[in-house]
Amino acid sequence: MMIAHHPTIAVHHKPGPRVRVYGPAYLDRVLRVDAPLAADTVIDGSVEGHLDSASDDCSEKCLVLIQPDGSTLSLEAPSGWPGPWGRIRIGTPPGPVRAASDHSVRAVGWIDDLGGMGAGYAQALGGRLTSAIGPPDDPTTRAIAALLAQHDIPHRPWVRSDHRADWTLLVTSGPHGDKLAIGFRGCHAALEATSSLAFGDEPAPDILLVAGLSTAHSAAILGQARPETLRVLAPAIRTMRDSTPALDVLAQQIDFLSCNQAEWNTLCASAARELRARVPLIAVTEGPSGARLLLGPSEFPVPVFPRVLPPRDTNRAGEAFASTLLLRLWQSGWRRGGPLQPRESVQAAAMAAAAAAALVLDIEHFGFPTPDAIDDALRLGQIHAASSRS
């Protein structure tokens, strides 16, 4: 298995909070393509994937994504592509990928990299990660462990020896802005909310963040937090759709909820109202349209931070935005139960978060911009050519 070895984007944090992150770490097999995946919308989201046997009309050089409505998208694989091949049935993406059955896009490159919201938030926040892994003899488990060590992410695993490690086929169109993560789930889908999720004898975190887990697992983890611990939830779209329990049941346990617009749109009106009424801060990212911050009944937009050149890769933009917003608010004095005031501090934190999201668009592998790079961008007022291509 080939793993990309890139210079790590170092994260030099100022003295800050003790952070514990619960969420997945995946092997991302990143496939970069040369054209948009959709005719009139940007695709940004995650779906479940299931491998079919190779079809008769697919040569060794391509794979075919089959949507629930039967429409297909053919991907011509690049040189050295190790697979998968053939047909992959996917769930409903956040927007229709091109429906023409004879439509295809060409891949221009691929890498194996570290992925998963848990790993991303742990790196961006300087936190300790707890995630599920498969058996030690599973090649994907070994690859994930090597990548976590390469990026200096402290890790306490839940070992599921009866299930393979998770991995993701991540299709991205670079400057066209698409990111379609097709997940092949194993050990995380098999987790059970048991006492093994407890903190043990480690010091209680200042910030507890749960990313991409079911609402049942999220409730079990958030429910063990100390009263003073700031609690953050970054759900996947399947979490938003979960009804066992529904997400709004967790509202009183959440201080900060971060999701994208497609995920927020899956909520029914009553659930959205309940979350807005009880969660002090909700960030809804909107891709190239920026983001919105919901503070109870108040709402204000966060515009996209100016860039000179188009993005290289839109992966990890949401994690960069939410992590920077959270850290800047913490540094300004926000704590559980306290007010998000003054408004100028929230706006300054939001602008820094937008700058972080704009900077990460030029990082084509796992990593995040440094606090100094974010501050430099804020001083300049834009991501200019020199910094964006360095």
The tokens for 133 are 């892994």
What angle (nearest 5°) sits at the alpha carbon of residue 344, between those of residues 301 and 307?
A: 50
User: For residue 46, which of 109, 107, 115 has the smallest C-alpha distance?
Assistant: 115
Average pLDDT over residues 132-153: 95
Range of lowest pLDDT (36-40, 205-209, 381-385): 381-385
Task: Measure the CA–CA gap between 84 and 86, rounded to whole angstroms.
Answer: 7
What angle (nearest 5°) sits at the alpha carbon of residue 336, between those of residues 316 and 318?
A: 10
Task: Measure the CA–CA gap between 131 and 119, rounded to whole angstroms.
Answer: 8
pLDDT tens, position by position, 79-125: 889 888 889 999 887 777 775 556 788 889 999 999 999 999 999 99
Range of lowest pLDDT (188-197, 229-238, 269-278): 188-197
Q: Is the pLDDT of residue 12 over 50?
A: no
More confident residue, 306 or 99: 306
Q: Is the pLDDT of residue 387 over 60?
A: no
User: For residue 96, which of 35, 62, 168, 45 has the smallest C-alpha distance?
Assistant: 45
pLDDT tier for residue 56 given thresholds of 50, 70 and 90: very low
Mean pLDDT of the chain: 86
pLDDT tens, position by position, 241-261: 888 889 999 999 999 999 999
Range of lowest pLDDT (43-47, 205-209, 279-283): 43-47
Q: Which residues pair with 157 in a beta bridge?
A: 131
pLDDT tier for residue 174 given thresholds of 50, 70 and 90: confident
Are 98 and 38 a contacting pair, CB within 8 Å? Answer: yes
pLDDT tens, position by position, 333-371: 999 999 987 788 899 999 999 999 999 999 989 999 999
Residue 152's pLDDT is: 97
Q: How many CB atoms lie within 10 A of CB 196?
A: 11
Residue 389's pLDDT is: 37
Cβ neighbors of 317 (< 8 A, separation 6 or more) are 285, 287, 357, 360, 361
Residue 99's pLDDT is: 58
Task: Measure the CA–CA gap between 1 and 112, rounded to whole angstroms.
Answer: 8
Give how far the C-alpha of residue 369 lies from the chain's centroid of Cα atoms, to the nearest Å: 15
pLDDT tens, position by position, 117-142: 999 999 999 999 999 999 999 999 99
pLDDT tens, position by position, 279-301: 999 999 998 899 999 998 899 99
